[in-house]
A and B are shown apart, each in its own frame.
Chain A
């Protein structure tokens, strides 16, 4: 499928698309909506992210726990002057619901969609629910791209009026099994029409470099913008947990050791022996190390050919985004005018 630009030369005209096409190293961040109807939570988090990233991903019932909807929270972000990336999973909606939600999202000012399979409901707080999985993430990418490029619904019928013009994203899990298939799965997503890719959290830069070699061999970095996923660690325990329990994350021992070393001053004491002040100081030291490591990761990832930006996942720790982005030398964020792109910078060329 050939992506068809609008009259202004952009596919969607989203800020994320403009920044990437102008050849800037993009920064996106993640925002987890609350398990409540409190819009102020979104406003508070938005204030922490504003000016520090080009677009903000809003998760869609992440880990199958019910939260404020991605589009609802996205509407608040638009009001606050930030640009949302709506995450859309295949777990909770069939093709009818997905399309109608996307029409609404577009009408409300949203311009980026990240198409995901979705975590299985057995992980979440409604494990007895029925799931949907009418279509999968690749078919979802294809559907959203065809809405824009062919002006049709999934059934093939044309829109009666304005088509939704989204910048279409997909996820990549470079280290999930079967690992040899992962670059090809990415190729499928690109072929389906993914304009940008956000990866699972990267801690093992060496392994990611190898993955990117294969990605470049397949020429994918020239057809899509790849944003490498990073996230600050809060504690050595979090690093160990990820290593053991989160599929598709490679956590080098060296990083765990650095996190441990950051708390060395309080080592050897059990939780009960520490005063609340000591605990706070230890947590601060860990978090500082987590932010430092994250900055270094960004700097290393930036050197890899074909990496067009980073996606920072500091879930329930949005305060960390500003020091990370500033520490990585990525502030201020570029302002790219809405007028037609000067040059159609290909995803690879930065």
Chain B
């Protein structure tokens, strides 16, 4: 899932500025499960903004609404009227949600209420950790299902650097060394020989380094008559 964190109320307030009519838009998918921008959080942020406005003596109309997926236009159409009426839309979706609104409603001012952090999973109650960097050419088949691109601090492809110690990465004792994990897993699976092969330099062109990415599936496209 996409994991995000809420911005501070101070930053949110400065992003909202002196707008009178504020619409907080939550998202019912990834950011709901990571407790950053679901219906519950949208309601709380709206209440906090209302309280802050009252304390500052500013007249402000703050409402909230949550759609199932902010990153698909058809879900946004359902709240199109509300969005169009707002002076500012505070999106509690991930960065994709914010952009979906901006793209679909060219005349509406939209600001982000979250910091989109990474692609990851919850490892225990209240803890999320990064797992994938969307490099566009998955090598998990070589590394025992543990991603060195996202989880090694240096995205190394040929094994651990000299900083690996007691299972953690040199940059932080709280961060497991991805290559220690890969080593242990391949050892357990009897596949250590995979580590003795030299992996050539990665083709990063499938990653963000190749420029903004786009996938076109000819088999799924509508023919001109269908459009």
Give A residues with C-beta under 8 Å from B: 90-91, 95, 117-120, 122-123, 131, 133-139, 142-143, 154, 171, 173, 176-178, 181, 184-185, 187-188, 191-192, 200, 247-248
Chain A residues with Cβ below 8 Å from B219 are none
Evaluate contact between B162 and A136: CB separation under 8 angstroms: no
Stretch at the interface among B1-9, B123-131, B195-203: B195-203
Q: Is B138 an interface residue (CB 8 A)?
A: no
Give the secondary structure class of B's interface.
loop
Q: State the CA gap A223–B201 with chains docked (Å).
A: 23
Chain A residue with minimal CB distance to B184? Answer: A178
Stretch at the interface among B68-76, B79-87, B150-158: B150-158
Chain B residues with Cβ below 8 Å from A185 are 158-160
B2: min CB distance to chain A, Å:
21
Interface residues on B, range: 20 to 34
Q: State the CA gap A223–B33 with chains docked (Å).
A: 54
Q: State the CA gap A123–B170 with chains docked (Å).
A: 9
Evaluate contact between A184 and B196: CB separation under 8 angstroms: yes
Evaluate contact between B156 and A133: CB separation under 8 angstroms: yes
Evaluate contact between A247 and B164: CB separation under 8 angstroms: yes
Evaluate contact between A176 and B163: CB separation under 8 angstroms: yes
Chain B residue with minimal CB distance to A131? Answer: B154
A283: min CB distance to chain B, Å:
30
Evaluate contact between B156 and A117: CB separation under 8 angstroms: yes
Evaluate contact between B180 and A248: CB separation under 8 angstroms: no
Q: State the CA gap A254–B171 with chains docked (Å).
A: 29
Evaluate contact between A138 and B198: CB separation under 8 angstroms: yes
Central interface residue in B157, B162, B167, by most chain A CB within 10 Å: B162
Evaluate contact between A139 and B201: CB separation under 8 angstroms: yes
Beyond A176-B161, A178-B179, A181-B195, 10 additional contacts (C-beta under 8 Å) are A117-B162, A120-B163, A120-B171, A134-B201, A139-B200, A178-B180, A181-B183, A184-B196, A185-B160, A247-B170
Q: State the CA gap A21–B199 with chains docked (Å).
A: 30
Evaluate contact between A136 and B154: CB separation under 8 angstroms: yes
Evaluate contact between B165 and A139: CB separation under 8 angstroms: no
Evaluate contact between A154 and B154: CB separation under 8 angstroms: no
Evaluate contact between A95 and B165: CB separation under 8 angstroms: no
Central interface residue in A134, A136, A142, A143, by most chain B CB within 10 Å: A136
B21: min CB distance to chain A, Å:
37
A57: min CB distance to chain B, Å:
15
